A = this chain, B = another copy of it.
Amino acid sequence: MTAVDFREADEVEKFVASVEARSGPVKLAVHNIGANVRFSVADTSERVYRKTWELAALSAFHFAKALGPRMATRGEGTLIFTGATASTRGAANFSAFAGAMHAKRALAQSLARELGPSGVHVAHVIIDGPIDTPFVRQIVGDTAFEALRAKGGLLDPAAIAQAYWALHEQPKTCWTQEIDLRPWTEKF
């Protein structure tokens, strides 16, 4: 496990180069980074607005620049970007997060159109709902977490991974560019 600051182009490039030197060509890479923050525009500092974008969008750009051309040269590979409901809708008090996630989705769309003809599969996945992780348990509290789990309201990480893997396994003649994932109990 290596800690890499994905806001730094050089770090990302070096990380990808070292991974490929050690383990061979990356076949599938997933960009999950994104930090949800909740403030009205008036209460959002420039620092928060900027950092939110750097975490979700600039890091995705570095990720794309480091991996996309390598995969395009090899004529294969899958890049998956994780989005959220905020990727397609600017709700009240989410301008920083929605702006960053909208930008990430725009990147995924541009990439899909640029790299698809080179054999690189680019997909964007909207995760809509809480995930069954210690992080979410901590945020919502034990009681709410157990109640959510009891009614099947938590996305199982293994099921998410299965959906991502299914995208990677799609043959070139049958690619998906965008999916949504949510628990059966989630309002949408």
Q: Is A3 an interface residue (CB 8 A)?
A: no
The answer to whether B64 touches A90, judged by C-beta atoms less than 8 angstroms apart, is no
CA A106 – CA B91 in complex, angstroms?
8
A114: nearest chain-B partner, CB-CB: B92
Q: Is A42 an interface residue (CB 8 A)?
A: yes
CA A86 – CA B113 in complex, angstroms?
14
The answer to whether A41 touches B68, judged by C-beta atoms less than 8 angstroms apart, is yes
Task: Determine which of B100, B154, B156, B175 lies in contact with A103 in the assembled complex, contact meaning CB atoms within 8 Å.
Answer: B100
Stretch at the interface among A24-32, A50-58, A135-143: A50-58
A54 to chain B, nearest CB (A): 9
The answer to whether B179 touches A178, judged by C-beta atoms less than 8 angstroms apart, is yes
Q: Is A185 an interface residue (CB 8 A)?
A: yes
The answer to whether A90 touches B68, judged by C-beta atoms less than 8 angstroms apart, is no
Identical copies in the complex: 4
A100: nearest chain-B partner, CB-CB: B103
Task: Determine which of B46, B100, B177 lies in contact with A180 in the assembled complex, contact meaning CB atoms within 8 Å.
Answer: B177
Task: Determine which of B50, B57, B62, B152 lies in contact with A99 in the assembled complex, contact meaning CB atoms within 8 Å.
Answer: B57
Which residues in B have their C-beta under 8 angstroms from that of A178? 178-180
A64: nearest chain-B partner, CB-CB: B41
The answer to whether B93 touches A114, judged by C-beta atoms less than 8 angstroms apart, is yes
- Chain A interface residues (CB < 8 Å from chain B): 9, 40-42, 44, 46, 49-50, 53, 57-58, 61-62, 64-65, 68-69, 72, 86, 89-95, 98-114, 116-117, 119, 121, 132, 152-156, 159-160, 162-163, 166, 170-185, 188
Pairs of residues from A and B, 4 with the lowest C-beta to C-beta distance, nearest first: A90-B109, A159-B174, A95-B110, A99-B103
